[in-house]
Amino acid sequence: MSRLAPELATRNETPHERTDRHLAELLQEVRVAQTGVQVLFGFLLTVPFTARFDDLAPAERHLYLATLCVAGLAAMLLIAPSAQHRVLWRCNDKEYVVRMANRYALAGLAAVAVAMVGALLLVSIVLLHSPIAAVIAVVAAAGALWSWYLQPLRRRWGLHRNARPAVLPLNRQPPRKVPSSAR
C-alpha cells in the first residue's frame, strides 16, 4: 500500500482488484488522449494534398514531416497499452501491464504535446509569417509542460514530503530491529 494513497485502506479492495481498477482507469484516460491524437494525425495526413502545400519553404516542410512523425509516434504509444493488454491477456501479469501502460501513456502524452506544438507552429508560420509564430509555440509548449507534467509532479513531490510513513508499500519489508546486544 502506498504512503500516497491512504484511501486504499478504506476501499476494501484486494491487490488484484486494485490492479484491475488501475488498469481500467488508465485505459479510460488513454482513450481520451487517443481520440485527440488521432484527429491531429488525420489532419496532418491531409495537409500535403492541399493546394498551398507546394508553397511551403523547405524548413516548413521539414517541420511538417517532423510533426507528422511525432503525431504518429504519439498514436503508437497511446495504443500500446491496449495492444499489450490484449497480447498479455490471461497471463496473470496485470501489474506489469499497468506499469508498462503507465510508461507508454506518459511517453505518448509527451509526444502529443510535441505534435500539438509542432502543428501550432506550422499553422502560425503559414498564417502569420512572423516571429509571433514562435511565441505561440512556446506558450503552447509551456502550457502543456506545466499542466500535464510540472504542476502534477509538484503536487506529487509535496505529497511525498508530507506523507506519514504509517503504511509500507506491499513490496517492502519493515526495517529489521537490531538487538540491543548487537549495538
C-alpha cell of 42? 488525420
pTM: 0.79
- As given in the structure block, the three cell numbers for residue 59 are 524548413
- Residue 127 belongs to domain spanning: 7-164
Model confidence over 69-123: pLDDT tens digits? 999 999 999 999 999 989 998 898 899 999 999 999 999 999 999 999 999 999 9
Average pLDDT over residues 165-169: 58
CA distance 69 to 66: 5
Assigned domain for 182 exists: no
Whether residue 177 is contained in a domain is answered as no
The DSSP secondary structure of 48-101, one letter per residue, reads GGSGGGGGS-HHHHHHHHHHHHHHHHHHHHHHHHHHHHHHTTTSS-HHHHHHHH
Q: Is residue 107 part of a domain?
A: yes
Lowest mean pLDDT among 70-74, 157-161, 165-169: 165-169
Does a structural domain hold residue 16? yes
Q: Number of folded domains in the chain?
A: 1
Please calculate the CA angle 21-18-104 and round it to the nearest 5 degrees: 60
Establish if 1 belongs to a structural domain.
Answer: no
**Residue 173 resides in a domain:** no
Residue 175 included in any domain: no
Q: State pLDDT tens for residues 3-57.
A: 555 554 567 899 999 999 998 999 999 999 999 999 999 999 999 999 999 999 9
- Asked if the structure places residue 44 within a domain, the reply is yes
